[in-house]
Chain A
Amino acid sequence: MRKALEGSQAIAQTVALCRPQVVAAYPITPQTHIVENIARLVANGKMDCELVSVESEFSAASLVLGAACAGSRTYTASASQGILLMSEVLYNIAGLRVPIVMTCANRAISAPLSIWNDQQDSMAVRDAGWIQLYCTDNQEAVDTTIQAYRIAEKTELPVMVCVDGFTLTHTLEPIDIPEQEMVDQYLPAFKFSRALDPRNPTSIGTLVSPDFYSEARHSHHHALLNAVDEIISADADWEKISGRAAGGLLAVDGPDDARIGILTLGSVYGTLSEARDEYPELPATSLLKLRAYRPFPADALRIACQNFTDLIVLERALSPGYGGIVASEVHSALANGTAKPRIHSFAVGLGGRDIPMGIYKQLHERIKVAEPAPFAIIDVALERLPVEDFGIETPPIDTANG
């Protein structure tokens, strides 16, 4: 049913529809509204689950790990510092191939302390071995959360659904919450193949010598690569039931004659999409919505970039001392194959800085260079810094709102 809902409310209602048996809750801005909404559903008898308010995110992840290994479908949500605190457990969950779904309400990382939206948190755990799916609006957050349970339980890989904190979680917009019957039809009951059970005792999490470790990692790596099929079919099957597709691995939107592409993850896509309409005089541009970041859809990317002269990678994180994270992976993917656009790497909106419509024009200006410049934080206000901190000089941003 279509309602005007706050993103976190919609996610909480969606989680309830997926019928988790155990939910771990620990507050951290901007995910807190999700667990608060779940608490209210439980308190009013509308959701039947064990809701455990744990003492830290480390314990939140540990709790869902234990519950999933004992055979229950689970849920938890976190962000920023919480993701980092639980990171040891995240690696553990993935290495143990436990199907768990969690929401990451993307938020910047301390220090400096920030409660606002960027994607440094989920990027920080990109090597943990989780599937990472990014949502550009709250409808995708709803649909992707449901699909995440199917994907996780089919592939026995944990799935992190990344939803921009505040920008999506605290935005109220029209969202279609599916009916319970639709979700029940789509999600079979959870049956974990290796559940802890006295009737079939298994040992989970043993010490592995150099004789076997590489095989375990190979298996894990390939399970992730092969998960692309499940990610695609989960979206296709959900589209048959709901009428909506969430974007598969990578969605491309633009005219056939577009020679410029802009690749993004998450909600900035919406702003770019409307900005493009406001600047029809600028060269034809394709917008690439990267939904699956892990596994990284290298093949889909190569196909999408076939005809581009320029590809802009606009990300909400960076690797200090190196540059763009997604950009470096894009470089690597395009090193093979015939697609050879010039790759421009920018970070934007770090620490929740607002990304105005003018960014679209700004990007088009910035790529008019003989050689793509090294990575830059495109919206840094250099005049606020002492000269010695400037690094490579960048022109000021145009903050006009289209």
Chain B
Amino acid sequence: MIEVRIHGRGGQGNVVAAYLLATAAFNEGWHAQAFPAFGAERRGAPVVAFVRLNDKPIRRRCQVASPDFLIIQDEALLQVPGITEGLKPDGCILLNSIRSSESFADNIKNNIVTLPATQLATEHLGRPVPNTALLSAFIKLTGLLPQASLGRALEERFKGDVLNKNIALIEAAATGLTAGLWKETANA
């Protein structure tokens, strides 16, 4: 079973990211589960969502305490104590940041890849919502799902201009990343 924890702020599409990932995986034949750790409706407040993927039905309902992957939608959240808590030793972090992955090597022991998701989103969507860009990168890096699966999941949720812009965004987000870089962790 693969467990992902997605950290973000209210308004960054944190929960939608979790739902999209689970939907894309489901469409590819996985059993999937996604849910938020909930709080009051508030823009800007730290939020967490969880995703589980498995080859058999998932019955547990507890929060993800030992994720294989972290997706951090807002770099400032790294200051929050405990944000990487429970991450497996070979676990990997995908971080929304304009800084290079290497620049985090001193502070973070885990594999980390950065993506300037906010900038990409602003460029393609006109809005700084980093979730779909990060998902696209996540899928490329883990090789868990075909890249096209995300586009198909987006089609279920969006249409028209919003959909088209997101499709362009996820293509842009995946370029330049090493496919299957995190395959080992994904298959563990």
Contacts and interface: CB of A to CB of B under 8 A. Distances in A.
Interface residues of B, number: 24
A166 B60 contact: no
Contacts of A270: 59-61
Interface stretch (A303-311, A321-329, A354-362, A385-393): A354-362
Interface residues of A, number: 31
B91 to A, nearest CB: 14
B59 A172 contact: no
B95 interface: no
A274 interface: yes
Given A166-B35, A274-B59, A172 B40 contact: no
A173 B63 CA distance: 15
B22 A172 contact: yes
Interface stretch (B24-32, B76-84, B106-114, B128-136): B24-32
Nearest to B40: A115
Interface in A92-133: 115-116
B80 to A, nearest CB: 18
A273 B62 CA distance: 12
B157 to A, nearest CB: 11
A170 B35 CA distance: 6
Contact of A267 (B26, B61, B63): B61
A179 to B, nearest CB: 19
A174 interface: yes
Contacts, number: 75
Contacts of B34: 171-173
A357 B62 contact: yes
A271 B59 contact: yes
Given A167-B61, A270-B59, A173 B40 contact: no
30 contacts: A3-B26, A4-B26, A4-B27, A30-B38, A116-B38, A137-B59, A164-B61, A166-B36, A167-B35, A167-B61, A168-B61, A170-B36, A171-B33, A171-B35, A172-B22, A172-B23, A172-B34, A173-B22, A173-B32, A173-B58, A174-B32, A269-B59, A270-B61, A271-B61, A274-B58, A275-B60, A354-B62, A355-B61, A356-B65, A357-B60
Given A173-B22, A173-B33, A174-B32, 9 more contacts: A168-B61, A172-B32, A173-B32, A269-B59, A273-B60, A355-B62, A357-B62, A401-B62, A401-B66
